[in-house]
Amino acid sequence: MRNTLVLLLLVCFLTPILSADEDTKAAEANTKASGRIEAAGTVLDEIQGTPDQRIPEEVLSSAECVAVVPSLLNGGFVFGGRYGKGVASCRTPKGWSAPAFFTIGGGSFGLQIGGQATDVIMLIMNKNGMNNLLSSQFKLGADASAAAGPVGRHAAADTDWKMRAEVLTYSRSRGLFAGLELSGAVIKQDKGSTREFYGRMVPFKTSLTGEIDAPKSAYPFLSTLAKWAQQASK
């Protein structure tokens, strides 16, 4: 009888502690996902705020989806230039979609990556590229053609960026922003961050096609993206 009472007391004592610990872990996890959202918005804002070293207006206004991988220095999301975590959004009839979280790894990241902390931006330029993104896993250069994107306020008239690739890629390292050759990299849905941010599993297709509304915590990225996309379309 005494042992039973002791066991019951232990259960009653430990349950609130364990529950609180789980709540704390969930809150911390969501903060990491939200931190990536904020970092992605900051990266895009800083790059587009530099007139001569940014994504050309014609390119940004034509993109179906925009994906940003914040750098190691902006929150620890890239390790050694060979693995990173990012966030993406696509155009929908209601505006930019709720964010989708992904990982990117492997492949050749070009000379600018090396061992440096680097921001990576990918623009999905057409429906075929978007369909590959919606599959939740694809390989650049195999499932979707990729090429280094042009840089500057406007794309030169003689460039063929519209025909070259389904995905245009960029990098920023040590203040230098340039097109990036990103071949062989595999993009997958970051299921852990997705569950942390939404509280449940949300497929790429559900979030990126506008089937769910974006939570307010997504605004640091989505509002920045909407601002520059609107400016590029004028």
Give per-residue pLDDT as tens, 108-147.
554 444 455 688 899 999 888 888 888 878 788 777 788 8
| pTM for the full predicted model | 0.79
Closest by Cα among 172, 89, 169, 174 to 133 = 89
pLDDT in tens, 31-63: 588 899 999 999 999 999 988 889 999 899 999
Q: What mean pLDDT do residues 20-24 have?
A: 37
Which pLDDT tens digit goes with each residue over 60-76?
999 999 999 986 433 33
Which one-letter DSSP state was computed for residue 226?
Answer: H
| Cα gap 139→145, rounded to integer Å | 9
Angle between helices 191-198 and 2-48 (to 10 degrees): 100
Looking at the DSSP assignment, which residues form a beta bridge with residue 187?
104, 138
Concatenate the DSSP letters of all residues of 86-104 into one string.
Answer: EEEEEEETTEEPPPEEEEE
Indicate the pLDDT class of residue 176, thresholds 50, 70 and 90: confident
Q: Output the six-digit token pair for 157.
A: 């008239």
Residue pair 86/133 in contact by the 8 Å Cβ criterion: no
Amino acid occupying residue 64: E
Token pair listed for 210: 């506008």
Q: How high is the pLDDT of residue 68?
A: 95
**Amino acid at position 180, single letter:** L
Residue 102 has pLDDT above 80, yes or no: yes
Cα–Cα nearest to 47, from 74, 25, 26: 74
Residue range 79-97: mean pLDDT, rounded: 82
CB atoms within 10 A of CB 86: 27
Domain parsing of the chain, residue ranges: 46-233
Position 213 scores a pLDDT of 94
